[in-house]
Structure 1
Amino acid sequence: MIERTAVIAAAAGLHARPAAAFAYVAAEQQVPVEIAKLSAPELSVQADSLLGVMSLDVAHGERVLLRARGEGAEQVLETLVQLLEESP
């Protein structure tokens, strides 16, 4: 399993539009991805689930942990980290 961390750049955190954009991109990937707050990695959710992502209640500036397994997982995580760290 490959892991990466990201700092949330969106002013709203992972709520509404930023969460929807993230979940949409995660759903397009060829490998399943999990996301969790870095402070509570045991409470991970599927990154392609909008409700799951929003339930994490991640605020601007918080760190999240992304995990993926499978062929191409490293590139998938790089794509998602970049998305989270860019301010919309």
Structure 2
Amino acid sequence: MAERKVIVESSVGLHARPAATFVQTAAKAPIDITVGKPGRPPVSAKSILSILALDVRNGEVIVIHADGDGADQVLDELAAIVSVP
């Protein structure tokens, strides 16, 4: 299982447009992907409601996990989405 710890740089956190882009990217991948805050249970990266419920804000760290072929590439794409200010 591949993992990335990323600081969310978006001024709105992982909400609205960044969340939609994040979920759309995750949904295209035919592998299991989860995201969460350290110390909290992860949620599906393919569920917009689950992502919004995490209440991830600017400057917070998230942990993204992916398992399967192409996991590293998908994690890089997802990390890039949340790293844009």
CA RMSD of aligned residues (A): 1.0
* 2:82 aligned residue: 84
The match for 1:48 among 46, 49, 52 is 46
Q: Where in structure 2 are the equivalents of 1:9-48 lying within 5 Å?
A: 9-40=9-40, 43-48=41-46
* 1:5 aligned residue: 5
Aligned pair count reads 85
What stretches of structure 1 of length at least 5 have no aligned partner?
none
TM (norm. structure 1) is 0.90
1:69: Cα distance to partner? Answer: 0.6
- Runs of 4+ in structure 1 deviating by more than 4 angstroms, as ranges, are none
What stretches of structure 2 of length at least 5 have no aligned partner?
none
1:3: Cα distance to partner? Answer: 0.9
Output one character per residue of 1:41-67: Cα deviation in whole Å (capped at 9) or x when no partner.
xx1110010000000000001000000
TM (norm. structure 2) is 0.93
